Amino acid sequence: MTTKVMAFGEALIDFLSNGDTALDGLESFTKYPGGAPANVAVAVARLGGNSHFAGQVGDDAFGHYLKASLNRYGVNTSSMLMTKEAKTALAFVSLDQTGERSFEFYRNPSADMLFRGEDFKAEWFADEAGVFHTCSNTLTEADITTATMAGIELAKAANWIVSIDVNLRINLWPDHQVEVQRVVDWMRQGDVIKASLEELEVLSNEPLGLINELLSDGVSLFVLTDGGNPVRYFAGEQGSGEVIAPKVDVKDTTAAGDAFVGGLLYQLAERGGDRASLQSFTQTELEACIRFAVACGAEAVTKTGAYPSLPSLEQAQRRLDTI
């Protein structure tokens, strides 16, 4: 069995816009399984990785649909909880003419936000190597923040790689005000961080200064995306560089970042999956991991939806040949 990758956080329903219909110009929506950590879990599974999802959904029709969808795509859901205390979260996603998204969330409170630190089980982290992945959607409220940090502590105690995707969704935060210090403190706990330049500009007036600060605090790899511009990476003594993304016909960017992260985590797991292995990578090895991740993201945007757009290993490798 390959090294475990466990993505923690929200699984939700994406209602993806079909655009205006002929009926009085009304916008219609199609149901898709989604949620950034769930997308990452599916991305890893699609590539053939040992993928697990940890989190909570409602014990309702949408929650059961999400669990069945994750199982169908090969994700282990033994650490996925259900509750009757709240409903499964929903997100309505509209697309502009370039495929860029806008979100409207129904999530306050939703089942994912009621997951608590004591819901984590020590046996989930029993493997000698693994990758534990989180994103900032589990920081928008104090209790789910505490739970997120509890999971990170368990992962670190097991010597797993801690992965962080900043993935800021500002309209999820109370009054649309991001708790910047909370987010930065969480980032300091990571071994691998992925963020966009736009997200870093919310967190700091000096994005590159923040990256250097985090590397000094012990982060091993920081990956910075910037739309269609080259992906930059920073790895302290191992060096920094950039990878140019291929030109593709963009249909939907919904799963682009999650496909990228899933590809990166798949590579880290395949190459060891513990903190020591990560720190021993050469710059060439790190860049190979990032090139593969770029290929996964580039492939995903050529299709519509979240799970359905995530590439298989064969599709990712075929796209990789174009980079």
Closest CA to 180 of 200, 163, 196, 164: 200
pLDDT digits (tens, 9 = 90+) for 187-224: 999 999 999 999 999 999 999 999 999 999 999 999 99
Mean pLDDT within 11-27: 77
Confidence of residue 19 (pLDDT cuts 50, 70, 90): confident
Q: Does residue 209 contact residue 239 with C-beta atoms inside 8 Å? A: no
Question: Do residues 272 and 2 lie in contact, with contact meaning Cβ atoms separated by under 8 Å?
Answer: no
> Are 140 and 171 contacting, i.e. CB atoms less than 8 angstroms apart?
no
End-to-end Cα distance, the chain: 30
Would you state the pLDDT for residue 306? 83
> How far is residue 119's CA from residue 151's CA, in Å, rounded to a whole number?
9
pLDDT at 98 > cutoff 80:
no
**Number of residues that this document lists for the chain:** 323
pLDDT digits (tens, 9 = 90+) for 278-314: 999 999 999 999 999 999 999 999 987 789 899 999 9
Report pLDDT for 279: 92
Strands of the sheet containing 240-243, edge to edge, are: 80-83, 50-58, 4-9, 130-135, 161-165, 192-196, 221-225, 231-234, 240-243
For the chain, list the domains and their CATH numbers. 4-320 (3.40.1190.20)
Letter string b/e over residues 241-265, b meaning 16 or more CB atoms within 10 A of that residue's CB? bebebeeeeeebbbbbbbbbbbbbb
Mean pLDDT, the chain, as a whole number?
A: 93
pLDDT of 101: 66
Supply the pLDDT for residue 206.
Answer: 97
Is the pLDDT at 21 greater than 80? The verdict is no
Task: Round to whole Å and give the CA distance between 182 and 71.
Answer: 33
What are the pLDDT digits (tens) for 244-270?
A: 989 999 888 888 999 999 999 999 999
Q: What percent of the chain has pLDDT over 70?
A: 96
Q: Where does the pLDDT of residue 1 fall: very low under 50, low under 70, confident under 90, or very high at 90 and above?
A: low
Q: What is the pLDDT of residues 216-242, one digit of tens each?
A: 999 999 999 998 899 999 998 899 999
Q: What is the dihedral of CA 116, 121, 125, 126, to 10 degrees?
A: 170
Question: For the residues 70-98, what does the mean pLDDT come to?
Answer: 91
CB 2 within 8 A of CB 131: no
Q: What is the residue type of 224?
A: L
What is the number of H-type helices and E-type strands within the chain? 10, 13
The closest alpha carbon to 35, from 308, 260, 306, belongs to 306
pLDDT at 24: 67
Q: What is the mean pLDDT of residues 30-48?
A: 95
User: pTM, whole model, 2 decimals?
Assistant: 0.94
Mean pLDDT of the region 97-111: 79
pLDDT of residue 203: 98
pLDDT surpasses 90 at 111: yes
